[in-house]
Amino acid sequence: MLVIDAMNPKWTYIITEMLLKQKSKKQRNTKKDINSKIKKLAVTVKNLIFDVLLIIAGIFSAGFGLKGFLLPNNFVDGGATGISLLLAEITSIPLWAFIIVVNIPFILFGIKAIGKLFVIKTALAIIGLSACVAIIPYPQITNDKLLVAVFGGFFLGAGIGLSVRGGSVIDGTEVLAIYLNRKITLTVGDIILIFNIMIFSVAAYLLSIETALYSILTYLAASKTVDFIIEGIEEYTGVTIVSDYYKEIRQMITNELQRGVTIYNGEKGLIKQDDNKNSIQIIYTVITRLEIRKLNTEIEKIDPNAFVIMTSIKDTKGGMIKKRPLKS
């Protein structure tokens, strides 16, 4: 049996070197972990600041559309904002109060349908819009009904679209539509359409048919503007990701976003002379547009050079997309 003499200078040197190497390796790993955490934190902070700027811009744009065009001319819009405008017209209560009160039920639905972080950002955005409408003295731009309908809808739609790009909404109707979409067979777009038909019917009865018709034009202008900014209100998004870090990205999607993924085997089209690896794994997943910002942020943390392709999808059936709550 071999007995090691710990007091032997030779063995003492070997043991010391082994301990120093282990300590050095541990220090390198610790430093690597710290740098990785700092990098991820920097990406999170950068994207959060960008989201906040988008939401603030959306609040000011929507406030301008409401007070500069719609409210002085007794126009309404679709969704929760339309309900708020309609109630403000038939009562003496100011619009800013209704913006908060009307959206509270939609925010409560969003806790289960979307996620807590999204709901917090949405609640702050709605409060910001309410404060903007209450405090900022926007000038009345025009009394021409056609201009009011078109440009009022444009600025309101731009506000909604910018807020969505920032990871929140300032009109809670869509949150309710996403929630009901999991309970009934209608698509999100169908639910929003039925909801708005009810609003404009009430507007025609309480105000006038002419006002309701102009309000429909306002809604169409706002909808097209939102489509232009965020490329679809109710559409799902198919995401194709090509990255050498496909394992980490796949784990992030399945664990953090709780979405299903499909892995394709592919081949590189451009091969370097010193690159012997021609095969590559391609990830495909389907998410809602409300998760796009979150997905982009997480992918950037893992691989800033990842190649990401996004395509619009009208609706989905089966899979995990409607079985699990959205994560924000």
The pLDDT score that the predictor gives to residue 289 is 75
- Looking at residue 155, its pLDDT comes to 92
3-class DSSP state of 310: strand
Which residues have a Cβ under 8 Å from the Cβ of 305 and sit 6 or more positions away? 243
* pLDDT at 32 (0 to 100): 67
- Rounded Cα distance between 50 and 69, Å, is 28
CA distances from 139 to 120, 285, 326 (A): 31, 46, 39
- Is residue 278 within 8 Å of residue 271, measured between CB atoms? yes
Q: Where are the domains of the chain?
A: 45-230, 236-313
Amino acid identity, position 326? L
For tokens 């990871």, what's the residue?
167
Q: Which helix (H) or strand (E) holds 21?
A: helix 9-65
171 close to 297: Cβ distance less than 8 angstroms = no
In CATH, the number for domain 236-313 is: 3.30.70.120
Whole-angstrom Cα distance, residue 8 to residue 4?
A: 8
* The two structure tokens encoding residue 137: 């003295």
Q: How far is CA 245 from the centre of its chain?
A: 24
Cβ–Cβ under 8 Å, residues 217 and 153: yes
| b/e map 180-200, b = 16+ CB within 10 Å | bbeeeeebbbbbbeebbeebb
Secondary structure of residue 67 in the 3-state scheme: helix
What percentage of the chain reaches a pLDDT higher than 70? 77
Residue 307 pairs with which residues in a beta bridge?
A: 242
Q: How far apart are CA 200 and CA 6, in angstroms?
A: 90
Per-residue pLDDT of the chain (328 residues), as tens digits, is 444 454 556 556 566 666 666 666 666 667 667 777 777 788 888 888 888 999 999 999 999 998 888 888 888 887 888 888 888 888 888 888 888 888 888 888 777 767 777 888 888 999 999 999 889 988 888 888 889 889 998 998 888 888 888 888 888 777 777 677 667 766 655 677 777 788 888 888 888 888 888 888 888 888 888 777 766 444 678 899 998 888 899 998 888 888 888 888 887 776 666 556 677 889 999 887 778 888 888 898 888 888 999 887 766 666 655 555 555 4
Question: What is the pLDDT at residue 328?
Answer: 45
Closest C-alpha to 106, from 178, 214, 24, 6: 178
Buried b (16+ CB within 10 A) or exposed e, 276-308: eeeeebbbebbbbbbbbbbbbbbbbbbbeebeb
Count of alpha carbons within 13 angstroms of residue 311, beta-carbon side: 7
Report pLDDT for 123: 87
Strand partners, 308: 241
Q: How far is it, in rounded angstroms, from Cα 163 to Cα 175?
A: 13
d(CA 137, CA 115): 34
